[in-house]
Amino acid sequence: METASVTSKGQVTIPKEIRQKLGIREGSKVEFAVVGKHLELRVQPPNGVMQTTAPASGYGMVKSRRNSVPVDLDPASLLKP
């Protein structure tokens, strides 16, 4: 179990390993709930949407700024004789 100190302003640094595991980064929203005699910290999903499954592939996620190369392009035709 990780421990951290509370500052005079009531701030606590979440350990790096925990931030990475939960995907917490600058700007992430968290909520606090008192449950019995302990505190729960819950990470709110970005934009209020929770992704429940990972995408099957990354196809189409990244768009190029360059024009696509024609399928029938012969690279040898680009070389000067």
pLDDT of residue 45: 80
CA 67 centroid distance within chain? 29
Beta-carbon contacts of 14 under 8 Å, excluding residues fewer than 6 positions away, are 4, 24, 41
pLDDT of residue 50: 57
CA 36 centroid distance within chain? 31
pLDDT of residue 55: 67
pTM over 0.85? The answer is: no
pLDDT of residue 76: 87
Cα(1)–Cα(3) distance, integer angstroms: 7
Q: pLDDT digits over 36-46, tens only?
A: 999 999 998 87
Return the residue matching tokens 């992430």.
28
Q: pLDDT digits over 8-61, tens only?
A: 999 999 999 898 888 888 888 999 999 999 999 999 887 655 556 666 777 777
